[in-house]
A and B are shown apart, each in its own frame.
Chain A
């Protein structure tokens, strides 16, 4: 089997991996911000709940979380697991997990903004919402780009974990083909795929950082 047909066979898996990647980002980035608000809530009980949530999400393996999301409905409510639910479970699991990491990044970013920025905004009559979205959040984005880049790169590699609930992302296919053909080539191709994917991620993030370079 030549390299081209191996890549062709890996193709559908690649698309699944890319889907997991983008859907996770699209949902986890905003959800992370909401969780960060919860974590920073003035109401002690709310704060405590989100703290516990983040702690659990970061303290247990993502693989385990995926299994819980996938099998949970069956064991808890005896709902029969439909085939379409696999991919949905993967996305839910990834989003819940990554949102927790993003929440902590947002929180650190928000807490790093000097108090004077809030006071100046208040003095100028901005509402709380205006203050956050016009003054604070843009500065937070600039500060958190490096840690967000790190998480995003980890996410690319983590997409391979979807195999635990039999979603055939790229790595699953690579393993199958490698076993069938008794060849290392599929693994090499998989490695190259993740690497190039991450190169692109790094490139895009660098573009963002450059774009926000106009102020300090």
Chain B
């Protein structure tokens, strides 16, 4: 069974069709990258998959549980409680981290497990410390976000998402807000997760990284999936748009 299925999803913003008949299937343990020019709808895919935006039509399913499906040509969503449970399957890492500035690192990580999932506080702390250590932030638990570098903040936000033990993690350009030298440390963490077979969908402009880490790459343009395949397929694609796009980014 697929962990995530988006079938024939479309989404319109103020009359502009931003996603057109998008279908993506992701199996457990897979790493999929989404690339494509700015404005092509990559973020919108993640925002629809994580229900930050509602889809206009199509289907959204996690592990066979339907979050949204078509009824009379329009998408309808499952009941609140069902959505809440489905929600626990996934997490999202934002481009600009969105850490809670008034919580220190530890509290940023443990607060949701404790107050949402009712994990005992002691246990949440133990697990958070393990995560921090793993992500190279073992000595930072008392820091506040503004005292950390962008790369450290992004790693904290990854830890925050992981603390809820999602089955699939979405990343929306996790390194776009970072200087090149900080980018490396974040990509390293994501590669580490890939090695542990964490299921991930990653929107990125880091071509080398996408090639290394993904089983599959999806190339988006103008709200369409233009091409989809193994990194090899994509990097050797005959499609001129794909070639042009990859060429531009690799020569940076």
Which residues in window 118-147 of A have CB below 8 A to B?
A: 119-120, 122-126, 130, 134-135, 138-139, 142
Q: Which residue of A lies closest to B91 (CB)?
A: A123
Bound complex: CA A142 to CA B146 (Å): 15
> Is B98 positioned at the interface, with any CB of A under 8 Å from its CB?
yes
B147 shortest CB reach to chain A, Å: 9
A61: CB under 8 A from chain B? no
Q: Complex: how many Å from CA A114 to CA B52?
A: 15
A214 interface residue per 8 A CB criterion: yes
A84 at the interface (CB under 8 A from B): no
Any A CB within 8 A of the CB of B145? yes
Contact yes or no, A126 B116, CB < 8 A: yes
Q: Are A216 and B146 in contact, CB atoms less than 8 angstroms apart?
A: yes
B87 contacts A125, CB within 8 Å? yes
Tell me the smallest distance from the CB of A132 to a CB of chain B, in Å.
13
Contacts of B92 in A (CB 8 A): 123
In the bound complex, how far is the Cα of B50 from the Cα of A123, in angstroms?
Answer: 8
Question: B115 in the interface, Cβ–Cβ < 8 Å?
Answer: yes
A144–B52 Cα distance when bound, in Å, is 28
Q: Which positions 82-103 of chain B face chain A at CB distance < 8 Å? A: 84, 87-88, 91-92, 94, 96, 98-102
Q: Contact: A139 with B102, CB < 8 Å?
A: yes
**With A117-B100, A139-B101, A215-B102 known to touch, is A123 a contact of B145 (CB < 8 Å)?**
no
Q: How many whole Å from A117's CB to the nearest CB in chain B?
A: 6
Chain B residues, CB < 8 A from A215:
101-102, 144-146
Are A119 and B146 within 8 A (Cβ)? no
- A123: chain B residues within 8 A (beta carbon): 50, 52, 91-92, 161
In the complex, chain B residues whose CB is within 8 Å of the CB of A138: 102
With A117-B100, A119-B98 known as contacts, the answer to whether A214 contacts B52 (CB < 8 A) is no
Within 8 A of A (CB), among B180-202: none
Q: Which of A117, A122, A134, A214 contacts B115 (CB 8 A)?
A: A134
- Convert B151-174 into 0s and 1s, putting 1 for each residue whose CB lies closer than 8 angstroms to a CB of A: 000000100110010000000000
Whether the Cβ atoms of B144 and A214 lie closer than 8 Å is yes
Please report the C-alpha to C-alpha distance between residue A125 and residue B160 in the assembled complex, in whole angstroms. Answer: 12
Complex contacts, A59 vs chain B, CB 8 Å? none
Q: Confirm or deny: B111 has a beta carbon within 8 angstroms of a beta carbon on chain A.
A: yes
Shortest C-beta distance, B183 to chain A (Å), equals 20
CA distance A49 to B169 in the complex (A): 44
Is B79 on the interface with A (CB-CB < 8 A)? no
Closest to B52 in A: A119
Known A-B contacts A119-B94, A120-B94, A215-B144; the reply to A125 vs B101 at CB < 8 A is no
A-chain residues with CB within 8 Å of residue B161 when the two chains form the complex: 123-124
Residue contact B102 to A125, C-beta cutoff 8 Å: no
The yes or no answer to B16 lying at the interface (CB within 8 A) is no
Taking the complex as formed, is B112 at the interface, i.e. its CB lies under 8 A from any CB of chain A?
yes
Q: Inside 8 A of A120's CB, which chain B residues have their CB?
A: 94, 98-100, 157
| Cβ contact within 8 Å between A130 and B115 | yes
**Are A117 and B145 also in contact (CB < 8 A) when A123-B91, A125-B112 are?**
no
Chain A residues with CB under 8 Å of B94's CB are: 116, 119-120
A and B contact pairs by CB, cutoff 8 A, 21 listed: A114-B98, A116-B98, A119-B94, A123-B92, A124-B112, A124-B160, A124-B161, A125-B112, A125-B116, A125-B117, A125-B164, A126-B112, A126-B115, A126-B116, A130-B116, A134-B111, A134-B115, A215-B101, A215-B144, A215-B146, A216-B101
Residues of B within 8 A of A (CB): 50, 52, 84, 87-88, 91-92, 94, 96, 98-102, 111-112, 115-117, 144-146, 157, 160-161, 164
6 pairs of A and B residues whose beta carbons are closest in the complex: A120-B98, A124-B112, A116-B98, A125-B116, A216-B146, A215-B144
Besides A124-B116, A134-B115, 13 other A-B contacts (C-beta < 8 A): A114-B98, A116-B96, A116-B98, A117-B98, A120-B157, A123-B50, A124-B111, A125-B87, A130-B116, A134-B111, A142-B102, A214-B144, A215-B102
